[in-house]
Structure 1
Protein backbone atom coordinates (compact mmCIF):
# COMPACT_ATOMS: atom_id res chain seq x y z
CA UNK A 1 0.00 0.00 0.00
CA UNK A 2 3.03 2.25 0.21
CA UNK A 3 1.64 4.54 2.90
CA UNK A 4 -1.68 5.07 1.13
CA UNK A 5 -4.96 3.99 2.66
CA UNK A 6 -7.14 2.33 0.05
CA UNK A 7 -10.52 1.02 1.04
CA UNK A 8 -11.95 0.15 -2.37
CA UNK A 9 -10.90 -0.19 -5.97
CA UNK A 10 -12.41 -0.86 -9.37
CA UNK A 11 -12.68 -4.22 -11.09
CA UNK A 12 -10.36 -3.03 -13.86
CA UNK A 13 -7.49 -2.75 -11.36
CA UNK A 14 -8.15 -6.31 -10.18
CA UNK A 15 -8.35 -8.02 -13.56
CA UNK A 16 -5.54 -10.45 -12.65
CA UNK A 17 -6.93 -11.31 -9.22
CA UNK A 18 -7.75 -14.95 -8.52
CA UNK A 19 -11.21 -14.78 -6.94
CA UNK A 20 -12.51 -17.51 -4.57
CA UNK A 21 -15.84 -18.15 -2.95
CA UNK A 22 -17.04 -20.48 -0.26
CA UNK A 23 -18.19 -23.93 -1.30
CA UNK A 24 -21.27 -23.14 0.84
CA UNK A 25 -22.32 -20.37 -1.56
CA UNK A 26 -25.58 -20.73 -3.42
CA UNK A 27 -25.68 -21.74 -7.07
CA UNK A 28 -27.44 -18.50 -8.03
CA UNK A 29 -24.38 -16.40 -7.24
CA UNK A 30 -25.45 -14.80 -4.00
CA UNK A 31 -22.08 -14.83 -2.31
CA UNK A 32 -18.99 -12.92 -1.34
CA UNK A 33 -15.75 -13.53 -3.23
CA UNK A 34 -12.24 -12.86 -1.94
CA UNK A 35 -8.86 -12.50 -3.61
CA UNK A 36 -5.39 -12.29 -2.06
CA UNK A 37 -3.49 -9.45 -3.73
CA UNK A 38 0.25 -9.22 -4.35
CA UNK A 39 0.44 -6.08 -2.19
CA UNK A 40 -0.65 -8.13 0.85
CA UNK A 41 -4.21 -6.89 0.86
CA UNK A 42 -7.38 -8.95 0.53
CA UNK A 43 -10.07 -7.80 -1.91
CA UNK A 44 -13.73 -8.60 -1.22
CA UNK A 45 -16.55 -8.23 -3.76
CA UNK A 46 -20.16 -9.19 -4.38
CA UNK A 47 -20.33 -12.06 -6.88
CA UNK A 48 -23.51 -10.61 -8.41
CA UNK A 49 -21.51 -7.53 -9.48
CA UNK A 50 -18.05 -8.78 -10.52
CA UNK A 51 -17.38 -5.58 -12.47
CA UNK A 52 -18.35 -3.42 -9.50
CA UNK A 53 -16.09 -2.12 -6.74
CA UNK A 54 -14.17 -4.33 -4.36
CA UNK A 55 -13.39 -3.48 -0.76
CA UNK A 56 -9.77 -3.86 0.33
CA UNK A 57 -8.66 -5.09 3.74
CA UNK A 58 -5.33 -5.91 5.34
CA UNK A 59 -4.64 -9.55 6.13
CA UNK A 60 -4.84 -8.67 9.84
CA UNK A 61 -8.32 -7.20 9.37
CA UNK A 62 -9.51 -10.29 7.51
CA UNK A 63 -7.94 -12.59 10.11
CA UNK A 64 -9.86 -10.75 12.85
CA UNK A 65 -13.12 -11.04 10.89
CA UNK A 66 -12.66 -14.75 10.15
CA UNK A 67 -11.78 -15.45 13.80
CA UNK A 68 -14.95 -13.62 14.89
CA UNK A 69 -17.05 -15.54 12.38
CA UNK A 70 -15.64 -18.84 13.60
CA UNK A 71 -16.42 -17.83 17.20
CA UNK A 72 -20.04 -17.08 16.29
CA UNK A 73 -19.81 -13.30 16.80
CA UNK A 74 -21.96 -12.64 13.72
CA UNK A 75 -24.51 -15.43 14.08
CA UNK A 76 -27.21 -12.89 15.06
CA UNK A 77 -27.14 -11.53 11.46
CA UNK A 78 -28.67 -14.79 10.25
CA UNK A 79 -31.84 -14.60 12.32
Structure 2
Protein backbone atom coordinates (compact mmCIF):
# COMPACT_ATOMS: atom_id res chain seq x y z
CA UNK A 1 0.00 0.00 0.00
CA UNK A 2 1.21 3.51 -0.83
CA UNK A 3 0.98 6.02 2.02
CA UNK A 4 0.74 9.69 1.03
CA UNK A 5 0.14 12.92 2.94
CA UNK A 6 -3.51 13.84 3.03
CA UNK A 7 -4.73 10.32 2.35
CA UNK A 8 -7.90 9.25 4.20
CA UNK A 9 -6.83 7.89 7.59
CA UNK A 10 -9.64 5.33 7.35
CA UNK A 11 -7.80 3.81 4.40
CA UNK A 12 -4.82 3.00 6.60
CA UNK A 13 -5.61 -0.47 7.88
CA UNK A 14 -3.77 -3.13 9.82
CA UNK A 15 -2.06 -0.61 12.13
CA UNK A 16 -2.58 0.36 15.75
CA UNK A 17 -3.47 4.02 16.31
CA UNK A 18 -2.20 5.33 19.66
CA UNK A 19 -2.64 8.58 21.54
CA UNK A 20 -0.92 10.16 24.49
CA UNK A 21 -1.84 9.09 27.98
CA UNK A 22 -2.18 12.85 28.60
CA UNK A 23 -5.35 12.87 26.48
CA UNK A 24 -8.35 13.43 28.71
CA UNK A 25 -11.03 11.83 26.56
CA UNK A 26 -12.69 14.98 25.25
CA UNK A 27 -11.89 14.24 21.63
CA UNK A 28 -8.99 16.68 21.39
CA UNK A 29 -6.42 14.04 20.58
CA UNK A 30 -3.76 13.44 18.01
CA UNK A 31 -3.27 9.77 17.17
CA UNK A 32 -0.21 8.19 15.60
CA UNK A 33 0.36 4.87 13.87
CA UNK A 34 3.61 3.20 12.84
CA UNK A 35 3.41 2.23 9.18
CA UNK A 36 5.21 -0.55 7.34
CA UNK A 37 8.65 0.70 6.36
CA UNK A 38 9.04 2.85 9.49
CA UNK A 39 7.01 5.92 8.56
CA UNK A 40 4.45 7.37 10.98
CA UNK A 41 0.89 8.50 10.22
CA UNK A 42 -0.81 11.25 12.25
CA UNK A 43 -4.55 11.90 12.42
CA UNK A 44 -7.10 13.88 14.42
CA UNK A 45 -9.07 11.54 16.70
CA UNK A 46 -12.27 13.55 16.10
CA UNK A 47 -12.04 12.71 12.39
CA UNK A 48 -10.65 9.16 12.20
CA UNK A 49 -11.54 8.90 8.51
CA UNK A 50 -10.23 12.39 7.71
CA UNK A 51 -6.81 13.18 6.32
CA UNK A 52 -3.67 11.58 7.69
CA UNK A 53 -0.27 13.19 7.51
CA UNK A 54 2.61 10.78 6.91
CA UNK A 55 6.14 11.46 8.15
CA UNK A 56 9.43 9.66 7.88
CA UNK A 57 11.03 8.30 11.02
CA UNK A 58 13.66 11.05 10.81
CA UNK A 59 11.01 13.78 10.58
CA UNK A 60 9.24 12.40 13.66
CA UNK A 61 12.52 12.19 15.59
CA UNK A 62 13.24 15.85 14.78
CA UNK A 63 9.72 16.90 15.79
CA UNK A 64 9.81 14.98 19.08
CA UNK A 65 13.22 16.40 19.97
CA UNK A 66 11.87 19.89 19.35
CA UNK A 67 8.73 19.23 21.40
CA UNK A 68 10.73 17.78 24.29
CA UNK A 69 13.03 20.81 24.10
CA UNK A 70 10.05 23.21 24.43
CA UNK A 71 10.61 24.70 20.95
CA UNK A 72 6.87 24.85 20.26
CA UNK A 73 5.57 25.96 23.64
CA UNK A 74 4.99 29.54 22.41
CA UNK A 75 2.34 28.19 20.01
CA UNK A 76 0.07 27.18 22.90
CA UNK A 77 0.17 30.42 24.87
The alignment's TM-score, normalised by the length of structure 1, stands at 0.86
- Pairing partner for 1:17 from 5, 15, 18: 15
Aligned partner of 2:44 in structure 1 is 46
Measure, in 1, the Cα distance between the counterparts of 2:35 and 2:21.
21
Measure, in 1, the Cα distance between the counterparts of 2:43 and 2:30.
6
Q: Which runs of 5+ in 1 are unaligned?
A: none
Aligned length: 77
The alignment's TM-score, normalised by the length of structure 2, stands at 0.88
Q: Which runs of 5+ in 2 are unaligned?
A: none
Following superposition, the deviation at residue 14 of structure 1 comes to 0.6
